[in-house]
């Protein structure tokens, strides 16, 4: 339905006005479950329109908008302007999401601002972490490139940036020809935009916002476990999650504490003690898992250290379906760890996630079916 509203022209004010941004963003109590998800989907569609403006600057819509709102800059840098139309404000909303999910692939560096844009391939958020020095704050990446020899100005870079980031910059390959910088969508493999991953990014931004909001005005709830037991997941997954929250799973460290002579270092990464928090949040494998999961979580800069506290915090801002997904993923991550430890099988994270989501849903359906038929026979569960 919303698609029909949307696939029209960018400049078509009436059509776009059918989706009121504010009404989509209403909290759950006011609008029901669908709205929040719908709002994420809507933002993803707006981001898609923004992506098209960037990819096809020659299109009629792009030219009309440029003439009106950003005659001397790009869509990427454009501001709200004077009395912006609903269409334009909506596109700027979409651009916010694009800015979260996009990063630049360096060509000649003329379109990328060193300290403002995302362009480092490996660093967290793709941003430069140091404050501007030696070059103006608005300087472009172009200033770091020796355009005659088509090479990085290594000495300047080492002077300005931390050792790690300098090495990261120098390792970015430069083209032999004068290529334009290219905007990449960081949530897909090939760097091209798609609505599905944008919706999931919007959702994870919402979750983080709610977590932050809750952190600023929270009080410890009495029904600590209620959210877990209400989650739409199988009892098996919920039980595993409950044991994980109470640190009651046989990790190497827990076995050692019980007097079993065992190596306590993580058998997957070898970088730390194998505690539950390490396995489920801090291990390289776990970080990759959560980053690629539908929640797109970055577990390395979380607020709460221990797994149990983290899990409760997450559950407190998720609805039943989302909680079910979280619980199923935790169960899956533990199973993947066991496969590694007992069968020496290291699974591919993306494939595992795909299987997990399918298997998780199938198990849940099977369980609900069983529960339904047991009730039907008057036995109850
Ligand atoms: Zn590890």
Residue with tokens 């079910």: 324
Cβ–Cβ < 8 Å for 109, 143: yes
Instruction: Tell me what pLDDT residue 4 has.
Output: 36
Question: Which two structure tokens, joined as six digits, stand for 157?
Answer: 């870079």
Rounded Cα–Cα distance for residues 158 and 35 (Å): 49
CA of 293 to the centre of ligand 1 (A): 18
Rounded Cα–Cα distance for residues 111 and 118 (Å): 11
Instruction: Tell me what pLDDT residue 32 has.
Output: 34
Q: Identify the three-state secondary structure at position 334.
A: helix
CA of 246 to the centre of ligand 1 (A): 20
CA of 100 to the centre of ligand 1 (A): 28
CA of 256 to the centre of ligand 1 (A): 17
CA of 333 to the centre of ligand 1 (A): 12
CA of 114 to the centre of ligand 1 (A): 34
Rounded Cα–Cα distance for residues 136 and 276 (Å): 46
CA of 97 to the centre of ligand 1 (A): 32
CA of 307 to the centre of ligand 1 (A): 14
Q: Identify the three-state secondary structure at position 233.
A: coil
Rounded Cα–Cα distance for residues 301 and 306 (Å): 13
**In the chain, domain spans:** 2-102, 107-180, 228-376
Cβ–Cβ < 8 Å for 114, 132: yes
Walk along the chain (381 residues) and give the pLDDT tens digit of each residue: 333 333 333 444 333 333 333 444 433 333 333 445 678 888 999 999 999 998 898 999 899 889 988 888 888 888 877 788 888 888 999 999 999 889 999 999 998 999 988 999 877 678 888 788 888 888 999 999 999 999 999 999 999 988 888 999 999 999 888 888 999 998 888 889 999 889 888 887 877 777 766 655 544 444 567 888 888 888 889 999 998 988 889 999 888 888 888 888 898 888 888 999 999 999 988 999 998 888 888 888 776 678 998 998 889 888 888 888 899 999 999 998 998 888 887 778 788 888 877 777 776 666 666 666 655 443 333
Residue with tokens 């505690």: 275
Q: What is the largest CA-CA distance in the chain?
A: 82
CA of 267 to the centre of ligand 1 (A): 7
Angle (nearest 5°) at CA 264 between 258 and 270: 165
Q: Identify the three-state secondary structure at position 22.
A: helix
Strand partners, 113: 140
Question: Which two structure tokens, joined as six digits, stand for 130?
Answer: 């140091």
CA 346 centroid distance within chain: 24
User: Residues 6 or more apart from 341 whose CB is under 8 A from it?
Assistant: 267
CA of 159 to the centre of ligand 1 (A): 34
Q: Which of 215, 202, 190 is nearest to 304 (CA)?
A: 215
Distances (CA, A) of 149 to 173, 177, 240, 268: 13, 11, 58, 43
Cβ–Cβ < 8 Å for 65, 84: no
Instruction: Tell me what pLDDT residue 169 has.
Output: 93
The answer to whether the predicted template modeling score (pTM) of the entire model surpasses 0.75 is no
Average per-residue pLDDT for the chain = 80
Instruction: Tell me what pLDDT residue 98 has.
Output: 92
How many of the other CB atoms lie within 10 Å of CB of 42?
24
CA of 281 to the centre of ligand 1 (A): 9
Cβ–Cβ < 8 Å for 266, 278: yes
How many of the other CB atoms lie within 10 Å of CB of 53?
24
């Amino acid at each position: 339905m919303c698609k029909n509203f949307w696939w029209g022209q960018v400049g078509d004010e009436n059509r776009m006005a059918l989706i009121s941004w504010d009404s989509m963003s209403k909290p759950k109590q006011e609008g029901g479950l669908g709205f929040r998800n719908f709002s994420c989907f809507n933002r993803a569609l707006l981001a898609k329109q923004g992506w098209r403006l960037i990819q096809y600057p020659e299109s009629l819509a792009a030219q009309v908008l440029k003439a009106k709102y950003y005659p001397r800059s790009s869509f990427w840098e454009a501001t709200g302007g004077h009395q912006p139309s609903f269409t334009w404000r909506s596109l700027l909303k979409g651009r916010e999401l694009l800015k979260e999910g996009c990063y630049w692939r360096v060509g000649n560096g003329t379109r990328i601002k060193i300290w403002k844009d995302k362009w480092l391939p490996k660093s967290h958020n793709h941003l430069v972490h140091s404050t501007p020095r030696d070059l103006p704050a608005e300087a472009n990446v172009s200033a770091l490139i020796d355009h005659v020899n088509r090479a990085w100005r290594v000495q300047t870079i080492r002077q300005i940036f931390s050792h790690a980031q300098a090495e990261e910059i120098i390792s970015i390959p430069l083209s032999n020809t004068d290529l334009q910088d290219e905007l990449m969508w960081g949530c897909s493999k090939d760097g091209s935009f798609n609505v599905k991953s944008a919706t999931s990014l919007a959702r994870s931004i919402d979750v983080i916002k709610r977590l932050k909001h809750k952190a600023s005005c929270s009080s410890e709830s009495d029904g600590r476990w209620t959210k877990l037991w209400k989650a739409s997941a199988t009892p098996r997954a919920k039980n595993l999650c409950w044991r994980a929250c109470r640190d009651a799973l046989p990790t190497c460290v827990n076995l050692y504490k019980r007097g079993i002579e065992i190596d306590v270092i993580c058998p997957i990464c070898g970088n730390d003690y194998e505690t539950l928090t390490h396995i489920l949040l801090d291990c390289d494998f776990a970080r990759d898992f959560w980053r690629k999961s539908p929640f797109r979580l970055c577990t390395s800069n979380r607020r709460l250290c221990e797994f149990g506290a983290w899990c409760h915090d997450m559950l407190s801002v998720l609805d039943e379906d989302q909680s079910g997904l979280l619980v199923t993923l935790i169960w899956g991550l533990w199973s993947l760890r066991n496969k590694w430890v007992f069968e020496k099988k290291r699974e591919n994270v993306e494939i595992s996630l795909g299987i997990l989501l399918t298997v998780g849903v199938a198990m849940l359906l099977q369980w609900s079916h069983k529960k339904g038929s047991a009730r039907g026979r008057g036995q109850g569960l």
